Amino acid sequence: MDQQFNFYARICGKLLGDGCIVKQGNRKPRFQFMHRTEDFGLAQYCHERLQDFLPLSPPTYSRVVDMRLIKQYSERYIVQSKTHPTITNLYETWYPQGKKVIPFDFLESYLNEEALSWWYQDDGHVKIVNGTMNKVILSTDSFTALENEQLIQLLFKKFKLRFSIDGQNRLILYDQFQIIYFLKLVSPWLSPAMKRKAAVTLPLKPIAKRTTVYLPSAISLRRPTAEINEKLVNLHSLLCEEKKLVCLHTVFNDFEQLASVKNTTTVGYQIVIQEPYRKLLARVRQQTGFSVSLLVSYCFIA
């Protein structure tokens, strides 16, 4: 993929996040972004990857009086551009009436995994509860409700991610495997300064020898323990060549439709799972967040 496309993908993510284009009076517009002092590393990371395309100043320290704070000032690093024809064109695209709007035609072209990662690093975070990734939040409260609905549709169209909107007009991803998959998508472009936004390793919870699984009623079993253990060999198809890690891209495609089906009638089976499959099920569950019942269901259709 050419460097010019990569530049526009990064700009796409930055303008969805903390980036903006400022214009004073009849002057030509300038691109800028700022980060708190703790995130100086992110400011550097973005500057380094944009400076070959735009005339940017290096991250510059700024201290602003803010009487609302205990120390009565805030600190940040600002990166600002000089004027440039590319910035003028971007301003006309993102600020057609002098006010920022989301240009969905632009996003259709340039919102790829790297753009998603830049946006997430600016305005997103993953909430951890008891060692488990509870949800991914994209702080989109500055966008209109209609823009957020369109973003949800576009994110599903491009990445099959099922975001929803919370009461604060933010985009939220709740599904465990979708959270894992989202963080896998953005991970190649995470700045070292953004380690706090990376995926955490889920706890490896053992699976009981005797357990109950719930399968779609279309799967009818006469000898549940024997038939399920026979099918569990299909779990190996989810692993990469090294046989230790789940191939998330493959799994996402296989499970996206299966996991999205709601209100399916199920039948419970109490079974005894053989030890090798208990270990394998525990490992796959740890890496995907899928329930044992869903993994067993997959084994019958694989």
CATH of the domain at 132: 3.10.28.10
Report yes or no on 181 lying in a domain. Answer: yes
Note the pLDDT of residue 246.
Answer: 87
Residues 157 and 231 in one domain: no
Report yes or no on 60 lying in a domain. Answer: yes
Residues 292 and 145 in one domain: no
Q: Which of 168, 197, 226 is the last residue of a domain?
A: 197
Residues 72 and 151 in one domain: yes
Report yes or no on 169 lying in a domain. Answer: yes
Using one digit for the tens of pLDDT, what is the confidence trace for 114-149? 999 999 999 999 999 988 899 999 999 999 999 999
DSSP-based three-state secondary structure for 292: helix
CA pair distance 5, 10, nearest whole angstrom = 9
Note the pLDDT of residue 258.
Answer: 67
Note the pLDDT of residue 130.
Answer: 86
Residues 18 and 127 in one domain: yes
Instruction: Return the structure tokens found at 234.
Output: 């299909």
Note the pLDDT of residue 259.
Answer: 64
Note the pLDDT of residue 242.
Answer: 66
Q: Which of 197, 227, 244 is the last residue of a domain?
A: 197
Residues 116 and 63 in one domain: yes
- DSSP state, 56? B
Report yes or no on 127 lying in a domain. Answer: yes
CA pair distance 180, 23, nearest whole angstrom = 39
R_g of the chain computed on alpha carbons: 23
Which residues form the domain of 191?
3-197
Residues 152 and 225 in one domain: no
Q: If you write DSSP's letter for every residue of 222-290 in order, what string do you get?
A: SSHHHHHHHHGGGGGGGB-TTSSSB-HHHHHHHHHHHHH--S--EEEEEEE--HHHHHHHHHHHHHH--
Note the pLDDT of residue 263.
Answer: 65
Phi-psi region of 15 (alpha: psi -120 to 50; beta: other; left: phi over 0): alpha
Residues 218 and 183 in one domain: no
Q: If you write DSSP's letter for every residue of 61-120 in order, what string do you get?
A: EEEEE-TTSTTSEEEEEEEEB---HHHHHHHHHH-TTSS----HHHHHHH--HHHHHHHH
Q: Report, as ranges of residue numbers, the positions in the chain whose pLDDT lies below 50.
A: none
Report yes or no on 142 lying in a domain. Answer: yes
Note the pLDDT of residue 253.
Answer: 77
Residues 148 and 244 in one domain: no
Residues 28 and 171 in one domain: yes
Sign of the CA dihedral 102, 103, 109, 110?
Answer: negative
Note the pLDDT of residue 169.
Answer: 96
Indicate the angle between helix axes 248-260 and 275-288, nearest 10 degrees. Answer: 90
Note the pLDDT of residue 40.
Answer: 97
Residues 113 and 244 in one domain: no
Residues 192 and 261 in one domain: no
Using one digit for the tens of pLDDT, what is the confidence trace for 51-64? 999 999 999 998 87
pTM of the model: 0.89
Note the pLDDT of residue 69.
Answer: 65
Note the pLDDT of residue 262.
Answer: 61
Q: Which of 162, 197, 232 is the last residue of a domain?
A: 197
Residues 52 and 164 in one domain: yes
CB 122 within 8 A of CB 11: no
Report yes or no on 148 lying in a domain. Answer: yes
Report yes or no on 82 lying in a domain. Answer: yes
Report yes or no on 203 lying in a domain. Answer: no
Note the pLDDT of residue 106.
Answer: 99
Helix, strand, coil percentages in the chain from 3-state DSSP, rounded to 5: 45, 20, 35
How many domains is the chain partitioned into structurally? 2
